[in-house]
Amino acid sequence: MTIVDPQTAEMLRETVAKHCERHADGALIRASRGEVPGALAADVATMAELGWLAVSVPEDHGGLGLAVSATGIIAEGLSACYSSDPLTGLFLGARALVHAQESDGLLAQVVEGSATPVLAWQENAHDFASPLPATEYRNGTVSGTKRWVASAAQASHFVVSAREDGRGVLVLVDASSDGVSLSFGTRADGTPIGELALTSAPSTVIARGSDATSALRRSLDEGTILIAAELMGHIDRMMKLVLEHLNTRKQFGKVIGSFQSLQHRASNMFVHQRLARSVLTTTLGCADLITEPAEFGQRAARLRARLNDTTQLIMRESIQLFGAMGITDENELSLHIKRCLSLLGYLGNSTEQRRYWTALSAQSARTGDTN
């Protein structure tokens, strides 16, 4: 994997921005709440056509050989559509296959959009530390329940984490197989999140033991970086909305942005926005080159914790600075707030990220020199 070069990065940014200009539709999002598949930033065919699915697939499978450095840019940009769905789920599925070194041609189909494997790993609310799953693989079939399956509505396959004789295993399940039952819950932003019930579903092992656990771990760490990138996009957009409001809303005969108490709140928001941006840029600029798992995990955890905390701050302050308008659904701000609420507790909240980072510090040989 390599880091996306500046020209390609700029091109990606422009493509995503153009796409969002045409497709951002708050009214559609509001109207589609609770529906499956709900409003998407782009459908699978469009994502494939724009090359967004090829980005994270290695070149020898027909992809572009980039990972989070490029997909992060797409996720961030899609925040202008108020959501990056179904990017994250598809990314997680593809990356799990990449890290498990899947070799029977599925990744080539991912590039074209003809196969859409998604990752089904989580069972309980606090699984980010990825304990051994209760889902069990035995003699070619897998049974168990997976929850919070992102992009499940688009899935052609599920990459499922399971246990086999007390060891971790990653298996591939065709979404249309017998024994596969998919239902949906609704997230804060009204979009669906999958619950996958597997009853002796036929499955193929793609990685076993430490190969399986490390492939899963790396995929989750990459996924958490992707979420962080999308959160950054929402932060920037919420800031923009708030600043417009501060510069136009008048009270006591002047624009409220001229009051120093509000200026200091806005400036404080900027300090955090700028900090979060720095950590994101640094991380996207180095992550794909990090091979040491603990170092990668620590980078991802620190980034995600910063983005989570900053997002909460920007959400809270934005609502406050908008006043009563901030607590209406009608305000554009609400679309970002609800999307962020759908993401903050997914793939590791701040406390889980810190716990993970701490565990990796203890593991890491270079304890004094943490990442």
Q: Does 247 bind other proteins (CB under 8 A)?
A: yes
Q: Does 274 bind other proteins (CB under 8 A)?
A: yes
Other C-beta atoms closer than 10 Å to the C-beta of 45 total: 12
Q: Smaller CB distance to other proteins: residue 212 or 333?
A: 333
Per CB under 8 A, the segment of 38-46, 70-78, 156-164, 271-279 that binds other proteins is 271-279
Tokens read off for 327:
């607590």
Q: Does 251 bind other proteins (CB under 8 A)?
A: no
From candidates 305, 311, 335, 340, binder to other proteins by CB under 8 A:
305
Q: Smaller CB distance to other proteins: residue 189 or 236?
A: 236
Q: Does 103 bind other proteins (CB under 8 A)?
A: no
Other C-beta atoms closer than 10 Å to the C-beta of 185 total: 11
From candidates 114, 210, 281, 320, binder to other proteins by CB under 8 A:
281
Question: Which residues lie below 8 Å from residue 259, measured CB to CB, with a gap of 6+?
Answer: none
As a whole number of angstroms, the distance between CA 138 and CA 111 comes to 31
Q: Give the burial string for 121-153 (b: 16+ CB within 10 Å, else e).
A: bbbeeebbeeeebebebeeebbbbebbbbbbbb
Tokens read off for 232:
């950054």
Q: Does 145 bind other proteins (CB under 8 A)?
A: no
Say if residues 135 and 104 touch (Cβ distance below 8 Å): no
Helix (H, G, I), strand (E, B) or coil at 260: helix
> Of 326-355, which residues contact other proteins (CB under 8 A)?
351, 354-355
332-344 helix and 209-248 helix, angle to the nearest 10 degrees: 160
Q: Does 210 bind other proteins (CB under 8 A)?
A: no
Q: Does 243 bind other proteins (CB under 8 A)?
A: yes
x/- mask, other proteins, residues 351-370, rule CB under 8 A, reads: x--xx-xx--xx-----x-x
How is the chain split among helix, strand and coil, in percent rounded to 5?
55, 15, 30
Contacts with other proteins: how many residues (CB under 8 A)?
A: 36
Smallest separation (angstroms) from other proteins to the CB of 217: 18
Smallest separation (angstroms) from other proteins to the CB of 240: 10
As a whole number of angstroms, the distance between CA 83 and CA 85 comes to 6
Smallest separation (angstroms) from other proteins to the CB of 263: 4
As a whole number of angstroms, the distance between CA 108 and CA 125 comes to 33
Q: Does 267 bind other proteins (CB under 8 A)?
A: yes
If you count DSSP H runs as helices and E runs as strands, how many of each does the chain have, helices first? Answer: 11, 10
Tokens read off for 85:
């769905």
From candidates 36, 255, 313, 341, binder to other proteins by CB under 8 A:
255
Smallest separation (angstroms) from other proteins to the CB of 265: 9
Q: Smaller CB distance to other proteins: residue 103 or 282?
A: 282
Instruction: Report the half-sphere exposure of 319 (CA within 13 A, side-chain side).
Output: 14
Helix (H, G, I), strand (E, B) or coil at 178: coil
Smallest separation (angstroms) from other proteins to the CB of 82: 23
Per CB under 8 A, the segment of 22-30, 32-40, 139-147, 278-286 that binds other proteins is 278-286
H or E element, residue 193: strand 192-202
Per CB under 8 A, the segment of 43-51, 142-150, 188-196, 259-267 that binds other proteins is 259-267
Q: Does 320 bind other proteins (CB under 8 A)?
A: no
Report the interface residues with other proteins, using CB under 8 A.
Answer: 243, 246-247, 254-255, 257-260, 263-264, 266-268, 270-271, 274-275, 278-279, 281-283, 302, 305-306, 351, 354-355, 357-358, 361-362, 368, 370-371
